[in-house]
Amino acid sequence: MSNYDFQKDIAGCGLTGIISTKGRKISGSVIRCSIACQHDRGNGLGGGFAAYGIYPKYKDYYAFHLMYDNMEAKKAAEAYLDENLTVDLAEEIPTKKSKAIPTSPILWRYFVKVKDNKRGSSVTNISDDDIIVNSVMHINSDIHGAYIFSSGKNMGAFKGVGFPEEIADFFMIENYEGYIWTAHNRFPTNTPGWWGGAHPFTLLDWSIVHNGEITSYGINKRYLEMFGYKLTLLTDTEVVAYLLDLLIRRHGLRPETACVALASPFWKSIARMPENEKQIITALRMVYGSALLNGPFAFVFGYTRGMVGMNDRIKLRPLVVASKDDMVYMASEESAIIEICPSPERVWAPKAGEAVIVNLDKDVAA
């Protein structure tokens, strides 16, 4: 038997994304089926899901999903929440223990709003979203053993150590329905496999699943820290979630423009562009050079009104897209799409650095 049979496959990790542009609700059992098809792309050290539209009764509240190492951490985090936010509901996240997932952190969710006396004014120019982000950064960095792993409105992430189908069964995601789903099967290579390090990584309504490696992590991390972000989850993908928040929410870039900044063309390609386009891309590369993502990657990220799939600039990781009627699918393998959509109308592989952006129809209320 060849020695190569025992070498680790660093091209692993599997991802899937589903969106209904009409906002139709999709059962969590569908995304489970798709990501389970990519079982061999992981090694049981991380799996997870993000879903949009799952908390319609609390759609105006930020849904905090927290994991705790111990009750002391839970007590400290809840004291901070009570002081700074209005907690309408606090409850344990429903789970189902199994032989595959016999133990877990303490898992709770909180539906919160910003207190009036903590809200920013026209003078301070601090939005509710800014206050929520500050809360996430504080708890994740300053309260030992407490981690907010989901903080958006009408959406939630569910993740942990295990294969994704095991994580799906643990969180009983078949009981949730969303109009966007993303899923991830992790094969960690350079970072630890732990509950907080599983994908998706989220902030507000941004959620990202990623196959590959962000070799520019150090530069991206230092850049984000200039804007007050604190990276504590020990996985390179965390930078992408925060870069999306910075570029799109705080700096006001459109998703397609932010994608160009994250995976800008090479200078030799820019030199051959028409003059107007060349000036725009050059400006983006100069202003956001420290936000540029290097390394092999394919990622899918979701937000309240859409989903985006993208490869690195030379397509070192696979990504396949398909569509049928109002449904769009993205995955690491075509088989993961065919498993849940046997006869798509169109199937294609995006070019290197090309973002595939799918939005809800304009008349759909998210």
Q: What is the DSSP letter of 119?
A: S
Q: Name the pairing type of β-strands 62-68 and 346-348.
A: unpaired
Edge-to-edge strand ranges of the sheet holding 85-92: 85-92, 106-114, 62-68, 146-150
Angle separating helix axes 128-142 and 71-84, nearest 10 degrees:
160
Task: State the DSSP string of 131-189.
Answer: HHHHHHHHHHHHSTTEEEEE--BSEEEEEESS-HHHHHHHHTGGG-EESEEEEEE---S
Q: What share of the chain is helix, strand, coil (3-state, %, to 5)?
A: 35, 25, 40
- How far is it, in rounded angstroms, from Cα 57 to Cα 24? 17
CB 335: neighbour CB atoms within 10 A?
Answer: 12
Residue 274 in 3-state DSSP?
coil
Peptide bond into 265 cis (omega under 30): no
Give yes or no for a contact between 31 and 321, defined as CB atoms under 8 angstroms apart. no
- How far is it, in rounded angstroms, from Cα 272 to Cα 283? 15
Q: Which amino acid is at 356?
A: V
**pLDDT (tens digit, 0 to 9) for every residue of the chain, 366 residues total?**
344 444 544 458 999 999 999 999 999 999 999 999 999 999 999 999 999 999 999 999 999 999 999 999 999 999 999 999 999 999 999 999 999 999 999 999 999 999 988 886 666 779 999 999 999 999 999 999 999 999 999 999 999 999 999 999 999 999 999 999 999 999 988 788 999 999 999 999 999 999 999 999 999 999 999 999 999 999 999 999 999 999 999 999 999 999 999 999 999 999 999 999 999 999 999 999 999 999 999 999 999 999 999 999 999 999 999 999 999 999 999 999 999 999 999 999 999 999 999 999 999 998
Q: What is the pLDDT at residue 299?
A: 97
| Active-site residue (options: 13, 37, 259, 341) | 13
- How far is it, in rounded angstroms, from Cα 110 to Cα 93? 9
- Tell which phi-psi region holds residue 252, choosing left (phi > 0), alpha (psi between -120 and 50) or beta: left
- How far is it, in rounded angstroms, from Cα 302 to Cα 39? 22
CB 245: neighbour CB atoms within 10 A?
Answer: 22
Give yes or no for a contact between 259 and 281, defined as CB atoms under 8 angstroms apart. no
Q: What is the pLDDT at residue 190?
A: 79
Task: State the DSSP string of 315-327.
Answer: --S--EEEEETTE
Q: Name the pairing type of β-strands 180-185 and 177-178.
A: unpaired
* Active site (annotated) includes residue 13: yes
Q: What is the pLDDT at residue 11?
A: 55
